[in-house]
Amino acid sequence: MSMVNLTEEQGMVRKIAREFSENEIKPVASENDKNHKFPKDIVDKLSELGFMGMVVPEEYGGSGFDYLSYIIAIEEISRACASTGAIMSVNNSLVCDPIYTFGNEEQKRAYLADLTTGKKLGCFMLSEPEAGSDPASMNTRAVKKGKNYVLNGAKCWITNGAEADLAVVFASTDATKRNKGVSAFIVEMKSTGVTIGKLEDKLGIKATSTAQVYFEDCKIPATNMLGEEGDGFKIAMHTLDGGRIGIAAQAVGIAQAAIEDSVRYAKERKAFGRAISNFQGLQFMIADMATRIEASRLLTWQAAVMKDSGGKYSKNSAMAKLYASETAMWVTTKAIQIHGGFGYTTDYSVERYFRDAKITEIYEGTSEIQRNVIARETLKEIQ
Ligand code: CAA
């Protein structure tokens, strides 16, 4: 565990999240993965624990924790089940955060308490079939008609899409302005004109839904716009800056689970008359796994502390996500290697960790996008 001193509250969050993960999530994680089952009962209990709106202030129905506490909880939950970590992180980082940060008082009062207490689940709709890394070229349009905006278009890769009640949706209100013509809306999923399309059959995080969503003449009250017309791209970027720290924490949790399983297995498994943990080749793998995980956790915590202190942290959140996700992929590959043939079967959890790790290099900005962000900021900083 890390050397950084946690506050009493952060330590308490870690303890509660760890106990809940061990007792309630770990026992069912593998089955839910195999059955592609959305863990509704677990999500309900996470709401009861106050984990679905962790940094939303109490006056809006949230738990009022700092961002580092939230990040610690995501790591612990993802250590048991990365799918549950993804569901939780979308609701917290990608839905509650933009509504709290950019919503007006009426919007906050109307939506936050439902999202934090489990009455509603949120999803975030930015990506489109032909606009993933380049969201400014989105094709979804929102046209103002009287007191409404009318949405038309297709969104994809929507985590929680099948279960969500509420969405933060990005649409172009002026296509000639590219990123400056993007606007953000709060959309009730039960609105007329919203259709859930194909649910993706994925490599990992199989206990989450990943949906295509279509808007066909979907009327949204103009009062549901977040910020002003044209603010959407900056709202999306700001939201993803925070979200990426959550994905970094998810990756750290997956990697932590993989090293723990690997060490326990290596101490039990015998070859050539000894437990394989005695072999230096294997010890060196464990040493590198432990070091990379610790470095990832520290980058992740640093980005969270920077967000808490109100400064600019785009570069730090990109670094944390880049390094932690590539670490999770690397560590889970080694974990399978340590388990040998057994690690390649579904009798052990390391193959699930390996499959789950891969998404952390892709969603909320690919590793290539994180490198773009880091390079851009670094080139600006060093003159
Ligand atoms: N915060 C605030 N503003 C920002 C910003 C940030 N982090 N980053 C950029 N901006 C602003 C810029 O300052 C610029 O403002 P001006 O026009 O006023 O100068 C404006 O936004 C446009 O910036 P860029 O020219 O840099 O924009 P770009 O089109 O070149 O894109 C990018 C930059 C970093 C590549 C960005 O498009 C990006 O992050 N792409 C990846 C998108 C992504 O992460 N998608 C994931 C979707 S969510 C998901 O995964 C689904 C799920 O359910 C989990």
pLDDT tens for the 383 residues of the chain, in order: 455 789 999 999 999 999 999 999 999 999 999 999 999 999 999 999 999 999 999 999 999 999 999 999 999 999 999 999 999 999 999 999 999 999 999 999 999 999 999 999 999 999 999 999 999 999 999 999 999 999 999 999 999 999 999 999 999 999 999 999 999 999 999 999 999 999 999 999 999 999 999 999 999 999 999 999 999 999 999 999 999 999 999 999 999 999 999 999 999 999 999 999 999 999 999 999 999 999 999 999 999 999 999 999 999 999 999 999 999 999 999 999 999 999 999 999 999 999 999 999 999 999 999 999 999 999 999 99
Question: Atom 53 in ligand 1: which residue has the minimum CA distance?
Answer: 159
Q: What are phi and psi of 60, to 5 degrees?
A: -105, 20
CA distances 213 to 10, 122, 140, 151, Å, are: 37, 14, 11, 12
Q: What is the predicted pLDDT for the residue at 290?
A: 98
User: All domains of the chain, ordered by start, with CATH?
Assistant: 8-121 (1.10.540.10), 123-232 (2.40.110.10), 239-381 (1.20.140.10)
Question: Atom 17 in ligand 1: which residue has the minimum CA distance?
Answer: 180
Q: What is the predicted pLDDT for the residue at 5?
A: 86
Pocket lining: 365 vs ligand 1, CB cutoff 6 Å: yes
Kindly name the residue from 128, 163, 351, 364 that is annotated as catalytic. 364
Q: What is the predicted pLDDT for the residue at 2?
A: 57
Q: Give yes or no for a contact between 216 and 193, defined as CB atoms under 8 angstroms apart.
A: yes
d(CA 69, CA 61): 17
- Annotated catalytic, 364? yes
Indicate the pTM of the whole model: 0.98
Pocket lining: 314 vs ligand 1, CB cutoff 6 Å: yes
Q: Give yes or no for a contact between 83 and 352, defined as CB atoms under 8 angstroms apart.
A: no
Q: What is the predicted pLDDT for the residue at 3?
A: 54
Pocket lining: 29 vs ligand 1, CB cutoff 6 Å: no
Question: Atom 24 in ligand 1: which residue has the minimum CA distance?
Answer: 179
